Chain A
């Protein structure tokens, strides 16, 4: 490992349909909250990392240049990072490497999306290759429905059981989102509501799917030297892992999903984690679909393969369990895609520094943050802890 890196400030916008602000204004809202949180000002920042989903989503090419001033980046090093749905975690990784390389002491990382400005599913259909897979126009739910079915089928999981576990996760996310001031979907729902909600792409129902949101997230990262100098309350980045795989959906195993397994393994190794179930206190698993969240538990070693439903049934991943997941309400309730992965990192930084307010997991000291992207192609992980 290179130089130690910590998150010392976070800022999130209120997410939802934000017709009250322009794209740069939305970003300014997140950035100014990160400055307020860290006690820093734009002049202190040495470099800026920013990113979003495909810029066709908002109809602006080079969106980082359009937002440059909203981030206070004028005159500073700026880089745009974009890796599809995993953009947010790739942004966090890029910020980490800016500091870990020794080139910078204070870096601002910004992710954003304004999904109500365009047609997100239309844009996402063009992620698929133009010749073979695009003609299906699957968008996101089609791909993830296939993956969910394959997972249930592989382990012979009873349909009723899987649906019930997914419904309980949906209720957990929707309930937790009520305690997160920045969450988008805030409705009280019951298990029956999920089970009865309409099918989007079997087995995925509308309450198993994330919304499209407008929102932005900003994170400030600092070197160890700067953390000491400022006397900041650090959330140390202890492990970083990322793995990508084949472009064609169908060429890789998406159940025993190598990209997810490898990303977690790399990050665990760096962080010195050998038993994730015991050593991780809280996780923000990227969960745009309830079924997929369970599949990730298995790939991240929270349980054995085929056993994820049990974690839900026993309440392990609920707020009061051993390994609470997505206490923010997760992606299921808030999904401004370019910001979503970075929100996961921001949320874990809040948790391990005891700043998560109403959705604080008591005593959380080490957390896992995750994002996924491409056509089930990329996975990124970051392990964040309150000690080095």
Chain B
């Protein structure tokens, strides 16, 4: 890859249970703030790539509603629906092609305006076989966790540790929608949702938006003293039917391998300094860490128990609090990328982890983590 592309800057909303502004107003706000921070005008943006979802917005052709509010009036743009990690990758590809020098990547979800995640992800199940048995994201997460439990002997206490860590981290994140210093007992006392996952093992949804400005190297260096380079990207999907899939070894390992290969990373445990990943449940933070190559299968819980993934551990995972801090569904992937970039820039405030020069961000959507994207960022 000849050309280098970097993140210039990022902006997030203060995510919440229910943001008052409407979607157009929120979009305008984050983009305006980003332009002001970077010190450029709208006319200097080459192209825009958004991520939103019709089901998660309650508006058909979801991007049409905010296209102009997001600074893209009379500009070229596109919409990578359902996953903002993929919108980021598409913006990256548009710059690599040489057609554009800068790309604005934006994403928004106001979960307070839509039906529950259970309903919307139930609609993701195929209408003939999966839907009649009541599958949705949480049910499939439970099936996955149960299978893992059988195979590797993980305990409910191990899962609770992830919740305690992430909600604890979120307390230091001014953009997080929730956070708190809980005990494992408090997590274990919450009601059982889908065995072995309890209510507190599953982050509820949020309202929130995020905007990221990408630019080719020369422009990025002009616009910021701390460009964060996109060193590698990888993404991939798993098969449609759960029965066709290995739920404990899906599309993430391959997506990660592609990203590491592009970034020249051979030993992720030693070459990656921190991770921001989509902990769709406490269990999934453990599973995804294994599949990102940070430990052998079945050993993910040890990373939590040994404090490796703690805020000041050897490999901090989700210092932002992850999805436990805020889960605006489609925007959450881009927020992971923005958080990783803030850490690498040294601008993460109270949640800053030390000595980071390379980070991984991961995004996922689909039942049981069907489609993953992995982004390697570096200074």
Contacts and interface: CB of A to CB of B under 8 A. Distances in A.
Interface of A: 1-3, 22, 24, 48, 51, 53-56, 59-62, 64-69, 73-84, 90, 93-94, 96-98, 100-103, 123-124, 126-127, 129-130, 240-247, 258-259, 262-263, 266, 270, 373-375, 377-378
Nearest to B60: A54
A100 B97 contact: yes
Contacts of B72: 244
B237 A247 contact: no
B61 to A, nearest CB: 4
Contact of B120 (A53, A61, A81, A263): A61
A203 B103 CA distance: 41
A78 B80 CA distance: 11
A80 B82 contact: yes
A90 B58 contact: no
Contacts of A90: 78-79
B42 interface: no
Contacts of B365: 62, 65
Contact of B240 (A66, A81, A103, A129): A66
Contacts of A66: 124, 126, 240
B68 interface: yes
B158 interface: no
B61 A65 contact: no
B73 interface: yes
Output the residue of A24, A101, A374 with the most chain B CB within 10 A.
A101
A89 to B, nearest CB: 10
A101 B366 contact: no
A129 B80 contact: no
Contacts of A68: 237-240, 370
A247 B366 contact: no
Contact of B237 (A65, A124, A270): A65
A76 B67 CA distance: 30
Contact of A244 (B73, B89, B99): B73
A56 B79 CA distance: 17
Nearest to B237: A78
A374 B66 CA distance: 11
26 contacts: A1-B99, A56-B55, A62-B366, A69-B241, A74-B239, A76-B237, A77-B237, A77-B258, A78-B235, A80-B80, A83-B61, A83-B77, A94-B78, A97-B97, A97-B99, A98-B93, A100-B97, A100-B99, A101-B94, A102-B2, A103-B1, A103-B96, A124-B60, A245-B73, A247-B64, A378-B64
Interface string B237-276: 1111100100000010011001000000000000000000
A77 B236 contact: yes
B193 interface: no
B371 A60 contact: no
A56 B76 contact: no
Nearest to A97: B93
B68 A244 contact: yes
A73 B235 CA distance: 12
Contacts of A55: 54-55
A377 B64 contact: yes
Interface residues of B, number: 65
A75 B366 contact: no
Contacts of A100: 93, 96-99
A246 B64 CA distance: 8
A84 B64 contact: yes
Interface string B337-379: 0000000000000000000000000000111001100000000
B189 interface: no
Contact of B68 (A60, A245, A266): A245
Contacts of B99: 1-2, 97, 100, 240, 270
Interface string B204-219: 0000000000000000
B81 interface: yes
B272 to A, nearest CB: 21
Given A62-B365, A80-B82, A244 B96 contact: no
B130 to A, nearest CB: 9
A129 B237 contact: no
Given A54-B61, A247-B66, A61 B79 contact: no
A19 B148 CA distance: 41
Given A61-B120, A65-B366, A79-B235, A241 B64 contact: no
Given A61-B123, A242-B78, A244-B75, A56 B68 contact: no
B120 to A, nearest CB: 6
B223 interface: no
Contacts of B82: 62, 64, 80
A342 B120 CA distance: 28
Output the residue of A3, A65, A258 with the most chain B CB within 10 A.
A65
A95 B98 CA distance: 15
